[in-house]
Structure 1
Amino acid sequence: MQHSFISKNPSVLVFLAILALFTLSVTLLSEGLGLGLISTSFVKTLGKTLCLCLIAVAMDLVWGFTGILSLGHFAFFGLGGYMIGMWLMYERTRLIVVQSLSQSEIPPTQSEVVDAIGNQIFGVVGSSEFPLVWIFADSLVLQLALVLLVPGILALVFGWLAFRSRVTGVYLSILTQAMTLALALYLFQNDSGLRGNNGLSGLQNLPGVSASQDAVSLWFLWASALALGLGYLLSAWIVSGKFGSAIRGIRDNEARVRFLGYSVVSYKLAIFTLTACIAAIAGALYYPQAGIINPAEMAPIASIYLAVLVAIGGRGRLYGAVIGAALVSLLSTWFTGGQAPDISLGFYTIKWVDWWLVLLGLSFVAVTLFAPKGIGGLVDYWTNRQTPDRHGADLGPDDGALREQEALK
């Protein structure tokens, strides 16, 4: 008897329902369309949190289910932000320049308009010419395509070189971290074409849109919630089928899966590239809400931070990745935003702005030592989702398959 995907995975429907209820509640309580109980800045924080949940789901796919500890996925996240940020900055600057030059007695030529735009964007790095990487910056459609193509191609090339060489474990993690560091160092240079350490700014302003930030923040919240819902649904569908069984097999025993005739390189390359694209979509939605992106966002520490989110939530559980990302993101905002009260010990005052990373590190160590399944393991416990007791069951073709002594191993 065939069962539908939802009937086999009821938790997906529960997650989508909670996400929809959350989005509706924030909308009704927001300043843009609702009662005004939630500020616009906090709506943006919630929208960015949803984007972090999406990249956490991608990280869980590649690490929790496939066993590839990538310390470079935040590079793909940042590249997605850069690709959409180029169009946002170009188009916003173009509108300002055109409006300014329209007041001239002699109408400006197209060349003069382009030069003025270039001077406005790249004057901060001592240039006025558009680099080659900005060739499609005037087209929203092409830049949206590049959001997927640039990180996807980078992941495809890097993954093919690494996986076909059978680089695994900590060595692969170091390689992904080196890739991220190399990319960040390149973008810090003024001649990278992306304004060096100044990055791209003013991304929160949608060109040609006269709506207030109250409304724009809600639009991005809805888009982030939709992306998270679709990304979660796609990820759950992948891990629940034969593909999911194959990547879990690679995680548990890559040599045995290869011996059985599976193309391990193809599976790892597919999941690495797919998760890079998901991360890029998350970044393309995150940075317009943040308003700015610079190379510091792509530093290796950011990818390590992402791994911590997934570990705390519980890797190998998609909902665990979401819980970990949401919890840590909101707590980080609370502790580093000056909302957490300082604690005076008499001889010393604990300021959470300075101690937040220490607290996060200690939480990661505690989870690793005492709760390796993360917060998601608590959800499993509460819902009684435990491994069935198969001790002594005949689960093979002969009478002695998986007897009690085998089950104890």
Structure 2
Amino acid sequence: MRTRSVIYQPHVIVVLSLLAIFTVTVVSFSEVSGGFLSTSLVKTLGMTLCLCLVAIAMDLIWGYTGILSLGHFAFFGLGGYMIGMWLMYARTEAIVVEAAAGAALPPTPQEIQDAIGTQIFGVVGGSDIPAIWMFAWSLPIQLLLVVLVPGVLALVFGWLAFRSRVTGVYLSILTQALTLALSLYLFQNENGLRGNNGLSGLQIIPGAENVPQAEISIYFFVASAVALGLGYVLAAWLVSGKFGSIIRGIRDDEARVRFLGYSVEHYKLFVFTLTAVIAGVAGALYYPQAGIINPAEMAPIASIYLAVWVAIGGRGRLYGAVIGAAFVSLLSTWFTGGRAPDINLGFYTIQWVDWWQVLLGLSFVIVTVYAPRGIAGIFDVFKRRPAKAKAKPKPVVAAEASTGSVD
């Protein structure tokens, strides 16, 4: 019954309807359907939907629970690495087997493994397949790891942090330290994930080498839209009932919620772990569309950008997180992609590729100071107008007549 009521909430209906219209429109005008939308643009839009999904996760942990996590993009990256391992291994295995098909003697399984290791890790001077790749041959296991690796890491980290009652800026610093440590570890060539080279060629799907990229991009775009829709409904369901009231209470007055008898640490740990899983799923859909993932994607600055998106969109509102991520990420693509015209001031030329981050930082400061409700706060104006219309005072004559005080 509660799920049904959540689906019929106005903001859920609007978001799902717009998402459905947007998905149908993009598919209808894509290259596959003979339209004018390029494959690269479809991939950009699909990646934007994935960023909207991770922004919802950020809004749950920060906007609703009050925990400013500066490490959630690390979980996003881990999801990408887990699916990327299977994509690289399966594709390389297919290449090795095909190349050995014409040999006089068929290669042994060990020779195939050695050839796969050389192909993948030769760029970092290795040839042995590391132990962390032991399940890379299995798609179901790697899909399970997309959920388990970010979830278990968040569970362990959250349990250690929340049981010690670390809160506020100290917790934010800890999450940022986790992200930095993970990023620095992945930069090392000895970690088994190709160091700074990362995982590449992820846009080539094993078993679908002959399928055009235009068609594959549509599949991933639709999958990203479905994931975003399901993630939005799940988040709306969580924040609509008693659970949502409790995490809002934790955000506003944690001590009072604890005094009322609720296990604050358990609620925070659940939200932290769940949002890490959501971020991992979003990353697993994002990087096959991006085609490459490397440790730079998991640098602390990426998680800071994520917080900026949610703040600009309007934290504490799920649709605000979606608006902020979509607006800023698409604007960033436009500015940093060289599409924005440079501004010649005579004495200096503003090149947006260099100045975009400055503009983003100023926007964050302005929104924080002058519009704390973000872009989503605009919709509050439309909400208040019907309420004012219903609350119009009675005419004076009618009011006096009802009390019998008319002369």
TM-score, normalised with respect to structure 2: 0.93
Residue 281 of structure 1: how far off its partner (Å): 0.3
Q: Match of 1:141? A: 140
Mapped partners of 1:7, 1:82: distance in 2: 33
Change (3 A) 1:387 1:278: farther
1:1-400 alignment runs, 5 A limit = 4-6=4-6, 9-32=9-32, 34-209=33-208, 210-384=210-384
Aligned-partner residue type, residue 253 of structure 1: D
Mapped partners of 1:310, 1:386: distance in 2: 27
Instruction: Answer yes or no: is the 8 Å Cα contact 2:83–2:146 preserved in 1.
Output: yes
Residue 10 of structure 1: how far off its partner (Å): 1.9
Change (3 A) 1:163 1:106: same
Moved more, 97-106 or 3-12: 3-12
Gaps of 5+ in 2: 389-407
Instruction: Answer yes or no: is the 8 Å Cα contact 2:73–2:302 preserved in 1.
Output: yes
Aligned-partner residue type, residue 299 of structure 1: A
Q: Describe the SS at the equivalent of 2:253.
A: helix
Mapped partners of 1:386, 1:77: distance in 2: 40
Instruction: Answer yes or no: is the 8 Å Cα contact 1:74–1:306 preserved in 2.
Output: yes
Q: Match of 2:391? A: none
Gaps of 5+ in 1: 389-409
Residue 167 of structure 1: how far off its partner (Å): 0.2
Residue 383 of structure 1: how far off its partner (Å): 3.4
Mapped partners of 2:262, 2:387: distance in 1: 27
Instruction: Answer yes or no: is the 8 Å Cα contact 2:83–2:284 preserved in 1.
Output: yes
Mapped partners of 2:42, 2:384: distance in 1: 34
Moved more, 124-133 or 5-14: 5-14
Aligned-partner residue type, residue 222 of structure 2: W
Aligned-partner residue type, residue 121 of structure 1: I
Q: Describe the SS at the equivalent of 1:217.
A: helix
Moved more, 103-112 or 301-310: 103-112
Residue 8 of structure 1: how far off its partner (Å): 6.0
Instruction: Answer yes or no: is the 8 Å Cα contact 2:7–2:13 preserved in 1.
Output: no
Report Cα offsets for 1:215-269 as digits up to 9, x if no partner.
0000000000000000000000000011101000000000000000000011000
Residue 382 of structure 1: how far off its partner (Å): 2.5
Report Cα offsets for 1:342-362 as digits up to 9, x if no partner.
111111111111110011001
Mapped partners of 1:183, 1:384: distance in 2: 46
Mapped partners of 1:260, 1:207: distance in 2: 54
Instruction: Answer yes or no: is the 8 Å Cα contact 1:315–1:373 preserved in 2.
Output: yes
Mapped partners of 1:195, 1:9: distance in 2: 46
Q: Describe the SS at the equivalent of 1:384.
A: helix
Mapped partners of 2:91, 2:198: distance in 1: 15
Residue 35 of structure 1: how far off its partner (Å): 3.3
Mapped partners of 1:295, 1:151: distance in 2: 15
Report Cα offsets for 1:42-99 as digits up to 9, x if no partner.
0000000000000000000000000000000000000000000000000000001100
Mapped partners of 1:3, 1:128: distance in 2: 51
Report Cα offsets for 1:309-344 as digits up to 9, x if no partner.
000000000000000000001100100111111111
Mapped partners of 1:359, 1:379: distance in 2: 24
Q: Describe the SS at the equivalent of 2:307.
A: helix
Identity %: 72
Instruction: Answer yes or no: is the 8 Å Cα contact 2:6–2:240 preserved in 1.
Output: no
Cα root mean square deviation, aligned: 1.8
Aligned-partner residue type, residue 150 of structure 2: P
Mapped partners of 1:71, 1:7: distance in 2: 31
Mapped partners of 1:110, 1:147: distance in 2: 27
Change (3 A) 1:158 1:3: closer
Q: Match of 2:395? A: none
Q: Describe the SS at the equivalent of 2:384.
A: coil
Residue 192 of structure 1: how far off its partner (Å): 0.6
Q: Match of 1:401? A: none
Aligned-partner residue type, residue 252 of structure 2: D
Mapped partners of 1:385, 1:302: distance in 2: 38
Mapped partners of 1:215, 1:267: distance in 2: 42
Residue 168 of structure 1: how far off its partner (Å): 0.2
Residue 211 of structure 1: how far off its partner (Å): 1.0
Instruction: Answer yes or no: is the 8 Å Cα contact 1:380–1:386 preserved in 2.
Output: no
Residue 193 of structure 1: how far off its partner (Å): 0.7
Report Cα offsets for 1:121-164 as digits up to 9, x if no partner.
00011111111100100000000000000000000000000000
Mapped partners of 1:5, 1:257: distance in 2: 26
Mapped partners of 1:59, 1:196: distance in 2: 27
Change (3 A) 1:46 1:7: closer
Mapped partners of 1:10, 1:335: distance in 2: 34
Aligned-partner residue type, residue 376 of structure 1: A
Residue 6 of structure 1: how far off its partner (Å): 3.8
Instruction: Answer yes or no: is the 8 Å Cα contact 1:6–1:13 preserved in 2.
Output: no
Q: Describe the SS at the equivalent of 1:25.
A: helix
Change (3 A) 1:237 1:385: farther
